[in-house]
Amino acid sequence: MKIHNFLAFDLGAESGRAIIGSIKTERLTITEIHRFPNRIICSHGHYQWDLERLFGEIKTGIKKCVREYKCNPQSLGIDTWGVDFGLLDDNGALIGNPYVYRDPQTRGMVNRFSRQISRKKLYRLTGTQFHEINSLYQVAAIKRRTPSWFGKVRHLLFMPDLFNYLLTGIRTSEYTIASTSQLMDARRKKWAPSVFRALGVNRSIMPGIINPGRIIGRLKKEIAEELRVPMIPVVAVAGHDTASAVAAVPAQSKNWAFISCGTWSLMGVETIRPIINRKALIYNFTNEGGIGGRIRFLKNIAGLWLLRECRRSWSREKRVTYEMIDRWAAAAEPLQSFLDPDRPEFLMPDDMALTVRNFYRRTGQKIMRTHGAIARSILESLAFKYRWTLNQLTEIVGNRIQTIHIVGGGSRNRLLCQFTANATGLPVVSGPVEATAVGNILAQAMAAGLINSLAQARAVVRRSFPLETFDPIDRDQWLEKYQIFLAIAGK
């Protein structure tokens, strides 16, 4: 039986990886062949991505795949985080490094842009949640701060599209990544002309939108020669990492919710059509594209970013690993103090651990001082935020959710999975950990004609990866403490 090999690049805000996916008899095995950090550059008071270094790591991954691992993949695909983009000039050259979505330039832009288009009208058109990190507000901020840039801009490419362009020379905009931007008409799946008019930006800078699971082109000849590899086909996978991750959710029943958990937690349900109504607007849910024409109706929640940044604060004195944090958190006293992980002060603080302690102090709670106590408090608070989101989600969609699937790096955190079951009162199924890379590979398999549907892709996931179910415990205690969390989150 022939083995079909694919090369997936999954780039996150913290790190990136290259993974070979091998499909044989409808089972998938994955092998990580290259991992690299993704570091933020601070330039003139602004945060940017080091695009040249990231592209160099992608080329290294391709070279390793072919030359070290002796694998000639049928294709390769790239997914990244959402909303960020690069701007190109007349010659197709990059105009500066892409800004990081956490850059402070967008502060206040949501309210400022609302003077151009009302929130109600903008939501009715785009179906996108209001968040200052969105591409729309980044474009508005750049144009306001450096208007000379947009005199030179001829093309805007979101991060996975930008890497695809650097590899193939072909400019496209993949649907799932485009849908995170707040620049797209959610129902028509086309760019929204009125949004571009309000921005004062020519819509012609945006390439045509294509669906995932389509071959874009092949590696440019000069890149193939540089790396001494074949001119490998490049596939437009679900370029938004969450879209790829949700494609790998191993669900079988209808009434399930997902949490794609990493730096961010993306929690929602899968639908056939966008849900754009008054309640969705009030609760600030978003409609994002998925594979197979599906819609991911979800809310962004600050995820393990808080824990990651606390680790960075603690590691200034001595090295602290996630394994150490997990042990300390498991041993800490439960349900003591809480925080709202989505408060603005947690977005980009200089010292996350200090910011968390200051939050306890300001809200009149017991101040958690040990690393384990703080970590446990963050995980418990995330679980309560999932319950809060679940309640809103259920109210909007009208269906009773019966199971929660946690995929991505957060599914490895058994404490968070158990806390989520406890807080929501629902069984939680964790895995696969590398859901984003798995979804990326499955989209390439669809492009190759090996997989014909999303249901078939999910069946492959169930056959290929171990899953673990967490049932709720101590429900009464968690319900009681949830009321305290609600009071704290409201302060």
Lowest average pLDDT, out of 213-227, 338-352, 371-385, goes to 338-352
Query: Mean per-residue pLDDT for 142-152?
Result: 84
Query: Mean per-residue pLDDT for 294-305?
Result: 94
Banded pLDDT at 489 (limits 50, 70, 90) = confident
Per the CB < 8 A criterion, the answer to whether 63 and 57 are in contact is: no
Pair of tokens at residue 110: 């949501």
377 and 304 share one domain = yes
Question: DSSP strand E in 387-463: where?
Answer: 403-407, 428-430
Lowest average pLDDT, out of 142-156, 170-184, 238-252, goes to 142-156
Pair of tokens at residue 291: 């594979």
345 and 462 share one domain = yes
pLDDT at 145: 87
Classify residue 445: in a domain, yes or no: no
31 and 134 share one domain = yes
402 and 271 share one domain = yes
224 and 262 share one domain = no
216 and 307 share one domain = no
pLDDT at 44: 83
Classify residue 437: in a domain, yes or no: no
Query: Mean per-residue pLDDT for 359-383?
Result: 97
- Count up the domains in the chain and report the number: 2
pLDDT at 347: 84
Q: At what angle do helices 305-314 and 371-397 cross, to 10 degrees?
A: 170
pLDDT at 296: 97
Classify residue 443: in a domain, yes or no: no
Query: Mean per-residue pLDDT for 285-296?
Result: 96
Work out the percent of the chain whose per-residue pLDDT is above 90.
92
Using the predicted structure, report yes or no on whether residue 313 has a pLDDT greater than 90. Answer: yes
Classify residue 379: in a domain, yes or no: yes
Lowest average pLDDT, out of 36-40, 146-150, 273-277, goes to 146-150
141 and 169 share one domain = yes
pLDDT at 333: 97
Residue 277: CB atoms within 10 A of its CB come to 13
Query: Mean per-residue pLDDT for 92-116?
Result: 94
Lowest average pLDDT, out of 39-43, 258-262, 371-375, goes to 39-43
Instruction: Please tell me the distance from the alpha carbon of residue 164 to that of residue 100, in angstroms, as a whole number.
Output: 19
214 and 299 share one domain = no
Closest CA to 453 of 292, 318, 236: 292
Q: What is the pLDDT of residues 45-91, one digit of tens each?
A: 899 999 999 999 999 999 999 999 999 999 999 999 999 999 999 99
- Can 241 be counted among the known catalytic residues? yes
221 and 304 share one domain = no
Q: Point out the domain boundary residue: 201, 216, 239.
A: 239
Q: Average model confidence (pLDDT) for the chain?
A: 96
227 and 256 share one domain = no
The CA distances from residue 291 to 135, 236, 401, 455, in Å, are 21, 11, 22, 11
Classify residue 446: in a domain, yes or no: no
pTM over 0.75: yes
What CATH number does residue 291 fall under?
Answer: 3.30.420.40
Instruction: Please tell me the distance from the alpha carbon of residue 348 to that of residue 93, in angstroms, as a whole number.
Output: 30
Q: Point out the domain boundary residue: 194, 210, 239.
A: 239
Q: Point out the domain boundary residue: 239, 262, 277.
A: 239
Query: Mean per-residue pLDDT for 417-439?
Result: 97
Classify residue 400: in a domain, yes or no: yes
Using the predicted structure, report yes or no on whether residue 1 has a pLDDT greater than 90. Answer: no
Banded pLDDT at 148 (limits 50, 70, 90) = confident
Q: Return the amino acid letter for 255.
A: N
pLDDT at 253: 81
73 and 205 share one domain = yes
Domain span at residue 327 reads 249-431+452-491
Using the predicted structure, report yes or no on whether residue 149 has a pLDDT greater than 90. Answer: no
End-to-end CA gap in the chain: 61
Classify residue 131: in a domain, yes or no: yes
Per the CB < 8 A criterion, the answer to whether 98 and 86 are in contact is: yes
Query: Mean per-residue pLDDT for 456-485?
Result: 97
The CA distances from residue 29 to 76, 209, 323, 430, in Å, are 16, 31, 25, 18
Catalytic residue among 84, 241, 326, 340: 241
Banded pLDDT at 491 (limits 50, 70, 90) = low
Query: Mean per-residue pLDDT for 395-416?
Result: 95
Per the CB < 8 A criterion, the answer to whether 446 and 211 are in contact is: no
Classify residue 444: in a domain, yes or no: no
Instruction: Please tell me the distance from the alpha carbon of residue 118 to that of residue 431, in angstroms, as a whole number.
Output: 40
Pair of tokens at residue 453: 């549907």
pLDDT at 418: 98
